Amino acid sequence: MTKAELPVSRQQLGWLAVMLLAPMLLVSIAATWAPPKPGDTAAHGLLGWSVIGAITLGLLALLYVVARRRAIEIDDTAIVVRHSLYTLRLRRADVSALHLRQVATLDQLGLSLRRNGIAACGYYSGWFSGPRGERTFCAISTWPAYLITVEGQARCRHVALSIPPELARRIAAWAPP
């Protein structure tokens, strides 16, 4: 069994943090400058700041999960990729062949639509549609990446992963002969 962590780009995580927390900063500024309504008490203001704080903590927890959940496990029966909020399980029994190729840009992946995933600032995680509508699972946070084309009965036809070359060789060796 092989277990490895997928690489993560601190710069991309920084941009994700800005995208998540910038609206909360704007709300905080608006709450500070907004004049109180007639009948507002200190308890109303405290309640508002408590809600803003709770939402901010929730967003920080989400960012923590996105940053920490990034692993791949390869054993004799399956490949399991856990990336941010999404998981791919590719069973060996459903795969007749795998083809790997290194890609250096998003255009080479041929993604056409985000189905259920995160696509922001070069960070791609989750389910996307390929050029002909086929399901593509992405776990990309650094470039270059590997595009794995799956043949057989698996529901996912393409897997795009940010992995080192030695892990790509391990995945290629995992494929049935």
**pLDDT (0 to 100) of residue 172:** 92
pLDDT in tens, 121-171: 888 999 999 878 889 999 998 888 999 999 999 989 999 999 999 999 999
β-pair partners for 119 = 124
Per-residue pLDDT reduced to its tens digit, 11-36: 888 888 888 889 888 888 888 888 88
Of 7-21, 73-87, 104-118, where does the model show the most confidence?
73-87
The Cβ-side half-sphere exposure at 132, using a 13 Å CA radius, reads 3
pTM above 0.85, yes or no: no
Provide the residue range defining the domain that includes 148.
1-177
Total number of domains constituting the chain:
1
